[in-house]
Amino acid sequence: MADRAEFLASIRHRTRTGKYKPTHAPDVAWTPKESPPETRLIEDPSARFIEKLEALKGHGFRAESGDEAREYVVSLARSRGAKLLVRWDDEELAGFDAPLADAGVEVAVPRDPEGLREVAGRADVGLSTASWAIAETGSLVLESGQGRGRSVTLLPPTYVAVLRADRILGTVPEAISKYAGGKVPANVCFHTGPSRSGDIEMSLVVGMHGPGDVHVVVVG
């Protein structure tokens, strides 16, 4: 078994004694293009986000109000014949319970690991918020935290996220800079469209292990 100090000392020795300086060979294919990088101003981040998500076979919906968002989720659950929906324990989602219950959909809000384990695997729909979204790639930025089970976004075949339009960032670097230099939650996930696989003869399979039916409701 390797000893930490020894391991590091041996690496230090190698990096300090090497006299070789890597050469960065010139390149043809990656030479800077003539036009300078466009400053990618995304005029309507919500529209771009939805456009990108749909291109990945996800579904985006712009809701004018919280009511409209709730209607979307209820009708989605109905259309999927859902009996059980599991959601994050998040204030923003509390208002969804009553209309869902009215529509005959049971809502589970796990508050301990056992509770989550029990429902996440058999729920028909998972519902969460998202900390951010990224317009240029159609990604959700999901953070772990109290009452925010990762499995909620992973195990049910249908997954829907609700977030406010002002949480939509332009680019991947913008999203990454939210965590740079600071404290990162135990889990962050850039979730970009439905789960997919192309392993068998490059034929697209949607919903391989994660949800294949992904919806994002942008409010406002």
Q: Say whether residue 154 binds another protein (CB under 8 A).
A: yes
Cβ contacts of 207 within 8 Å, gap of 6 or more: 157, 194, 195, 196, 213
Please identify, using beta-carbon distances, which residue of 78 and 209 lies nearer to another protein.
209
Please identify, using beta-carbon distances, which residue of 52 and 70 lies nearer to another protein.
52
Rounded to 5°, the CA angle 197-199-203 comes to 75
Q: Residue 134: beta bridge partners? A: 139, 169
Q: Say whether residue 137 binds another protein (CB under 8 A).
A: yes
Q: Which of 50, 85, 116, 123 binds another protein (CB under 8 A)?
A: 116
Q: Say whether residue 41 binds another protein (CB under 8 A).
A: no
Q: Tokens at residue 59, please?
A: 């579904």
Please identify, using beta-carbon distances, which residue of 32 and 81 lies nearer to another protein.
32
Short-list 146, 144, 132, CA closest to 46:
132
Q: Say whether residue 16 binds another protein (CB under 8 A).
A: yes
Handedness of CA 88, 119, 85, 159 (dihedral sign): positive
Please identify, using beta-carbon distances, which residue of 53 and 74 lies nearer to another protein.
53
On whether the CB atoms of residues 201 and 218 are closer than 8 A, the answer is no
Q: Say whether residue 48 binds another protein (CB under 8 A).
A: no
Q: Which of 83, 104, 144, 166 binds another protein (CB under 8 A)?
A: 144
Q: Say whether residue 54 binds another protein (CB under 8 A).
A: no
Q: Which of 169, 195, 217, 219 binds another protein (CB under 8 A)?
A: 195
Please identify, using beta-carbon distances, which residue of 69 and 136 lies nearer to another protein.
136
How far is 10 from 185, CA to CA, in rounded Å? 33
Site for another protein in 160-189 (CB under 8 A): 172-173, 176-177, 179-181, 183-189
Q: Say whether residue 79 binds another protein (CB under 8 A).
A: no
DSSP 64: S
Q: Say whether residue 199 binds another protein (CB under 8 A).
A: yes
On whether the CB atoms of residues 124 and 85 are closer than 8 A, the answer is yes
Q: Which of 66, 145, 170, 220 binds another protein (CB under 8 A)?
A: 145
Q: Say whether residue 91 binds another protein (CB under 8 A).
A: no
Q: Say whether residue 102 binds another protein (CB under 8 A).
A: no
How far is 217 from 163, CA to CA, in rounded Å? 6
Cβ contacts of 148 within 8 Å, gap of 6 or more: 88, 89, 90, 128, 142
Task: Write out the H or E segment, with its range, that includes residue 87.
Answer: strand 84-87
Q: Say whether residue 38 binds another protein (CB under 8 A).
A: yes
